[in-house]
Amino acid sequence: MSVLHIVEVTKTFPGGTNAVDSFSLDVADGELVCLLGPSGSGKSTLLRMVGGFEQPTGGRITIDGEDVTHLPPERRPTGMVFQSHALWTHMNVFKNLAFGLKLRHMPANLIKEKVEAVLELVGLAGYGDRMTTQLSGGQQQRVALARSLVLEPKILLLDEPFASLDQHLRERLREEVRDIQQRLKITTLFVTHGQDEALSMADRIVVMANGKTEQIDRPDVVYRNPQTPFVAGFIGTMN
């Protein structure tokens, strides 16, 4: 069953071309879909519209049957992790995670319980007292992921979360995130320009160019039968 429907969504920036051009996609419950494409293909704009950080100029987005197209981010059942994690540097890890729960007026003992469970999930048990500036890049991205997950979003939105990390760490975090995503069975949209990332993580891949879908299929099909120069070129470099 699909939980996320993106229906003919368009984004035209003032004076610009269509960053996203009548784009449609249905995402099934628990599915991880990678939006893959070169820089400027409209991936981030699309993701930001699903998260409510950008307003579509056309089309409709529904989550679990509810039209969220014009809802602000805080009223959507979505959690977003950005390329630069934007953690609060003046708060420790615990407070970074507890902040959103406090806004929901959750009792302190329950907040503590939830934050500790999520820190455990992302492999940072016992790190609550650390300031975020004392953490490595990978640990900071784990905190950013935890900060989204602790609010129990229905849909997780990840925009190139590992882009600033080195190759080895990227590969490790890719496996960790996939593992967490499958354990929680959380519906996920994952934006990347890394073909290897998409091919190794996704249930389905949407290859984008100029705000449109060029190919959409399972990774093994995209790998065997690439329909775009962007993916075909990459596979060429592997053989």
Residues near Mg ion, by CB under 5 A: 44
Contact 156, 148 (CB under 8 A): yes
Please choose, from the candidates 43, 57, 44, the residue with its C-alpha nearest in 3D space to the C-alpha of residue 213.
Answer: 43
Q: How far is CA 67 from CA 5, 61, 64, 112, 210, in A?
A: 9, 6, 9, 33, 26
41 binds, among Mg ion, ligand ADP, none (CB under 5 to 8 A by kind): ligand ADP
Which of 212-222 are b and which e, b meaning 16 or more Cβ less than 10 Å from the residue's Cβ? bbbbebebeeb
Cβ nearer to ligand ADP, comparing 13 with 88: 13
Compute the least distance from the CB of residue 193 to ligand ADP, in Å. 7
Which of 57-93 are b and which e, b meaning 16 or more Cβ less than 10 Å from the residue's Cβ? eebebbbeeeebbeeeeeebbbbbbbbebebeeeebb
13 binds, among Mg ion, ligand ADP, none (CB under 5 to 8 A by kind): ligand ADP
Residue 103: phi, psi to the nearest 5? -60, -25
Compute the least distance from the CB of residue 165 to ligand ADP, in Å. 18
Cβ nearer to Mg ion, comparing 62 with 83: 83
* Number of residues that make up the chain: 239
Cβ nearer to ligand ADP, comparing 16 with 107: 16
Compute the least distance from the CB of residue 55 to ligand ADP, in Å. 11
- Host H or E run for residue 187: strand 187-192
Cβ nearer to ligand ADP, comparing 16 with 65: 16
Residue 227 DSSP label: -
Residue with smallest beta-carbon separation from Mg ion: 44
Cβ nearer to ligand ADP, comparing 92 with 227: 227
219 binds, among Mg ion, ligand ADP, none (CB under 5 to 8 A by kind): none
Compute the least distance from the CB of residue 177 to Mg ion, in Å. 18
Contact 63, 76 (CB under 8 A): yes
Cβ nearer to ligand ADP, comparing 37 with 226: 37
Compute the least distance from the CB of residue 61 to ligand ADP, in Å. 16
Compute the least distance from the CB of residue 19 to ligand ADP, in Å. 3
First to last CA, the chain: 37
Interface with ligand ADP (CB under 6 A): 13, 16, 19, 37, 39-45
123 binds, among Mg ion, ligand ADP, none (CB under 5 to 8 A by kind): none
42 binds, among Mg ion, ligand ADP, none (CB under 5 to 8 A by kind): ligand ADP
